[in-house]
Each structure stands twice: as structure tokens, then as C-alpha cells.
Copies of this chain bind each other. A is one copy, B any other.
Amino acid sequence: MDTPRPPATLADVAERAGVSRQTVSNAINNPDLLRPDTLARVQDAIEHLDYTPNQAARHLRTRSSHLVGLRLGPAQEFTANMAMDRFVHALVEASREAGYHVLLFSGGRVAEGELPDPLGGYDDLLRSTAVDAFVVTDTYLGNPQTIGLAQRRAPFVAFGRPWDDPGAAHPWVDVDGAAGIAAATEHLRAQGHERIAWLGWQPGSRIGEDRRAGWHRAMTALGLPTAGLEAAVEDGVLAGGRAAASLLGSSAPTAFVCASDTLAVGVLGALSDRGLKPGRDVGVVGFDDSQVAQVMGLTSVRQPLEEVAVHLVAALRALLAPGHGAESGVLLQPTLEVRSSSTRG
């Protein structure tokens, strides 16, 4: 009994307001063009008829869906998606404020032994005009997709620097991981530590190398030794624990800066095995401020994902609405969330 009738259209509103369809369209998209009284009449009609513009029609006409595509990687890619949840939230919120929605898609299931197609899913969405643009997040893998997308002239913005292609023309936003790690190192120094170890990933990840550089740079600036104080392992709790145990045995560090929360949790376990208390006895800092860090009282470098999302969306708007010049690269500073794992007392 409630609303069995089909939704109102522009024509319905026009008729009720006694104007043409075009005028209604203008009332919505260019209110300034209308005389105040006409505008009021139209708005009244819109209200009464509970009118909402049909997106499909608008989309077809304007060739703009107001949708941005975000590909969800085949889960658990390395370490990055510990923060993915927060990022998605932030992106949805920032997009909403700009009048966009976020369309999620997957690259498709990756068959056993096959390499995932770095462009899987992008092409169809774009050519079918389902989305206006993409947000690309997994640039830490190297950046095959940014290259591929650029070749296809696909509008996109990247969360992540174009490490391997300084001449890349697309807009990007990234977080200065090296600076975050340097701040963590300085924080530990301020807590009285001098033998501060780096627990990072095996070479091959630009992000990992960047973070390590932050540690090394800070240590050097502080006049502290680095020799024998680092280990590179795969990202995992067990691997982190083993590496920490080994470092503790060989070079007596009193603090650890880690490339990820996962590794830091491993360190925590190694400390516990030796009866050492995090914070009081040995300082530990992780990276990503994941739920795990929050729950375990682990000090961690936190990426300003909300801010990242806002900049990405701003870049998108600039990209899609020519005229607005875009910042083509933005590097944001992370913050250090200090918890008990790095403070004495």
C-alpha cells in the first residue's frame, strides 16, 4: 500500500512544477541558472514527489558513473592488508564527501601455480564504463598495474610511490615510511636505548628497503652503531621470533624496530621466552598500528590513512574534472603510536 508506483522521473517533476524537463535538470545541476521563484517551485515538486535522479540515465548521458574502482587483492598479500580495512573505510568516507562511491572488485581467482594477472578485472570495468577511475593500492609489488593502466590511458591514482618509474605521470599519494621508522628509532634513543636493532624483510621490496633506510639514517645521525644489529627475514611471527632470538644472542640489542607488526609480535614472543618484559627490558616498535598492535600494547608507526584517502580523492577529482590542477605526488608523514612496548616504567 506504500509505494507500489514507480519512482518519479524528471518529467513528472516538470509537469507538477509547470516547467520543462530541462529546467528541472538545471534546478538540480545548475541551480544558479534559475530564477529564485522557479527554483523554489521545482524544489517543492521534487520534495513532494520524493524524486531522486536515475543514476543509470545520468550515467549514460554524462559518461560518468561517479564510481571509483578498488581491487581487493587475492587476500593476504604480504603485510599490507593488515591496514586494508582501515584504508577502505577511509576511502569510502572520503569518496562519499566528493559524491563518489567505491566499487569493489577482485582480480579473479588465481589458479594454482599461475601468476595473478596484474591487470585482471581492470580492463572490463573500464571499457564497460562501469567506473570512472581506479584507486590502485598494491604498488609495493613493483608496479606492473600502474604501467599497464597508464598504457591504456585509464584514469587512476595510486596509493604508493612509483618506485621504479620516477617519470610516472599519474598522481600518487604515499606515506613516508622511512621517516616513520626514523622517528621510532629516535623515540627509542630518547628512552635510553643505544643498541637498537632493525628487523626487516628480505631485499626485493622497495617499501622494505625504504623503511630500513629510515633506521639506518637515524642511527647514523644519532651516532649509534649499526653493525651486526640487523636481520632480514620473511614476514611472519615465527620468523620474527627466531631472528630476534638470534640477534639477542649475538649482539645484545636493547631495542627492536621492525618493518611490520607481524615481525614485532615475533619479537615479543622471543622476549617472553627469555623472561624479558617489553618496554621495561627491551623496547619494541612495529609498523602499521594494526589491531594486533593495539590489543597487545605494541608501539607502532601509524599511517594516516584517512588523510591518504582524502588526498587520493582530491587527485581523482582533479583527474576527472580537468581544469583543477592536481598535485601529482603527495608524501604524508606517519605518526608514532607509543604504547607500553617501548616505554620504561
Please, what's the 1-or-0 string for A85-98, where 1 marks a CB less than 8 Å from any CB in chain B? 11011001100100
Inter-subunit contact A2/B85 (CB<8 Å): no
Give chain B residues whose Cβ lies under 8 Å from the Cβ of A225.
none
A101 contact from B52, B60, B105, Cβ within 8 A: B105
A103 partner residues in chain B, CB cutoff 8 A: 67, 101-104
Q: Considering the chains assembled together, what is the distance between the CA atoms of A129 and B52 in angstroms?
A: 9
Q: In angstroms, how far is the closest chain B Cβ from the Cβ of A39?
A: 21
A3 and B56 CA atoms in complex are apart in Å by 26
A205: interface (CB < 8 Å): no
Q: How far is the CA of A81 from the CA of B63 in the complex (A)?
A: 35
Q: Quick check: A75 and B89 within 8 Å, CB to CB?
A: yes
Question: Is A108 at the interface (CB under 8 A from chain B)?
Answer: yes
A128–B262 touching, CB < 8 Å: no
A160 to chain B, nearest CB (A): 19
Q: Is B96's CB under 8 angstroms from A128's CB? A: no
Interface assignment of A133: CB less than 8 Å from any CB of chain B? no
| Bound-state Cα–Cα, A137 to B52, Å | 25
**Chain A window 198-223, contacts with chain B (Cβ cutoff 8 Å), 1 for yes, 0 for no:** 00000000000000000000000000
Contact with B along A127-168 (1 / 0, CB 8 A): 111100000000000000000000111000000000000000
Q: Which of A81-124 contact B (CB under 8 A)?
A: 81-82, 84-86, 88-89, 92-93, 96, 101-106, 108-109, 124
* A contact residues, range: 35 or more
A265 within 8 A of B: yes
Q: Are A72 and B88 in contact (CB under 8 A)?
A: yes
A59 within 8 A of B: yes
Q: Which residues of B contact A296 (CB under 8 A)?
A: 265, 292, 296
Cα(A128)–Cα(B58), bound, Å: 10
Which residues of chain B are within 8 angstroms of A104 by Cβ–Cβ distance?
88, 92, 101-104
Chain B residues, Cβ within 8 Å of A72: 88-89, 92
- Which residues of A line the B interface, CB within 8 A? 2-4, 7, 50, 52-57, 59-60, 63, 65, 67, 72, 75, 81-82, 84-86, 88-89, 92-93, 96, 101-106, 108-109, 124-125, 127-130, 151-153, 237, 262, 265, 272, 290-292, 295-296
Which 6 residue pairs are nearest across A and B when measured between Cβ atoms? A52-B127, A56-B60, A56-B59, A85-B85, A102-B104, A55-B128
Between A and B, 30 residue pairs with Cβ closer than 8 Å are A4-B153, A52-B124, A55-B128, A55-B129, A56-B56, A56-B65, A56-B129, A59-B59, A59-B60, A60-B60, A67-B103, A72-B92, A75-B89, A81-B85, A85-B85, A88-B88, A88-B104, A92-B106, A93-B106, A93-B109, A96-B105, A102-B103, A102-B105, A103-B103, A104-B104, A237-B295, A291-B291, A292-B292, A292-B295, A296-B296
